[in-house]
């Protein structure tokens, strides 16, 4: 009787189960273990012609996973690079593209230098400082005065978002004077900013506009109990 058709003992089958934790680690798990085994088999083929044919067949299988990109030249280059990576750079075949090396793959990019801003009053944000710098470059006039008042009111609203208590206009004017480098001076001004109650009401109204998805709006019409559309008189009718 052929060996593969022999009835196996259930206990032996369970005992010889192969777990993924015991298997070899996949270098690119997206392609699965079967493709990894194909590449491992192609690596040990001794005949050069047969090994090159096997590599081309494997590339076709890898490209079939993304058929819309299979014939794109850049994508073909990527597939060949991944083929060499999955073979642990042991596959010796002729590639239509430059063969990558392990050293190039392990190179780490240079650290990206993020802009570091450490404002003294962080609750205002960086945009406020940018607006103040723009206002400093404007010529004196009504447009600049209007922009300064807009900035001051926005600063007051931002301050109230951080501190729910009331804030005096003098505090906002002092911060504006400090952030502008002394170029915007409203300390002796008689201008008044928006009322704290109005600013808090605006913030609450804007937050209430954001409704949760999936919750329909229910209109309560006490006069329309039957669900019918109320009669409306047409003025065009004589």
Assessment of whether the complete model's pTM goes beyond 0.85: no
- Summarised one tens digit per residue, pLDDT across range 65-84 is 878 776 777 888 889 999 99
Query: Which of the two residues, 76 and 7, has the higher pLDDT score?
Result: 76
User: Which of 25-34, 135-144, 184-193, 211-220 is least confident?
Assistant: 211-220
Is the pLDDT confidence value at 22 over 70?
yes
- Summarised one tens digit per residue, pLDDT across range 90-100 is 999 998 888 88
User: What pLDDT, on the 0 to 100 scale, is given for residue 76?
Assistant: 87
Is the pLDDT confidence value at 138 over 60?
yes
Q: How many CB atoms lie within 10 A of CB 155?
A: 25
Please report which confidence band the pLDDT of residue 220 belongs to, taking 50, 70 and 90 as the band edges: very low
User: What pLDDT, on the 0 to 100 scale, is given for residue 117?
Assistant: 66
Query: Which of the two residues, 116 and 82, has the higher pLDDT score?
Result: 82
- Segment 51-78 shows an average pLDDT of 85
């Amino acid at each position: 009787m052929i060996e593969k058709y022999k009835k196996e003992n259930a206990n032996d089958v369970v005992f010889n189960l192969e777990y993924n934790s015991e298997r070899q680690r996949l270098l690119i798990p997206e392609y699965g273990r079967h493709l990894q085994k194909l590449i491992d088999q192609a690596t040990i083929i001794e005949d050069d012609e047969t090994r090159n044919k096997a590599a081309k067949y494997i590339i076709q299988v890898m490209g079939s996973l993304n058929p819309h990109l299979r014939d794109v030249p850049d994508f073909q280059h990527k597939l060949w690079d991944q083929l060499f990576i999955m073979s642990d750079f042991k596959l010796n075949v002729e590639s239509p593209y430059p063969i990558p090396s392990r050293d190039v793959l392990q190179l780490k990019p240079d650290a990206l230098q993020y802009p570091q801003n450490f404002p003294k009053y962080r609750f205002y944000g960086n945009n406020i400082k940018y607006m103040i710098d723009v206002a400093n470059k404007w010529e004196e006039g009504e447009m600049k005065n209007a922009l300064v008042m807009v900035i001051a009111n926005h600063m007051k609203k931002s301050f109230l978002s951080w501190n729910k208590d009331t804030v005096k206009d003098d505090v906002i004017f002092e911060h504006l004077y400090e952030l502008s480098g002394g170029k915007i001076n409203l300390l002796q001004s008689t201008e008044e900013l928006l009322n704290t109650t109005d600013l808090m009401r605006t913030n609450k109204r804007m937050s209430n506009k954001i409704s949760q998805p999936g919750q329909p709006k229910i209109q309560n019409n006490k006069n329309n109990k039957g669900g019918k559309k109320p009669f409306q008189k047409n003025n065009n009718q004589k």
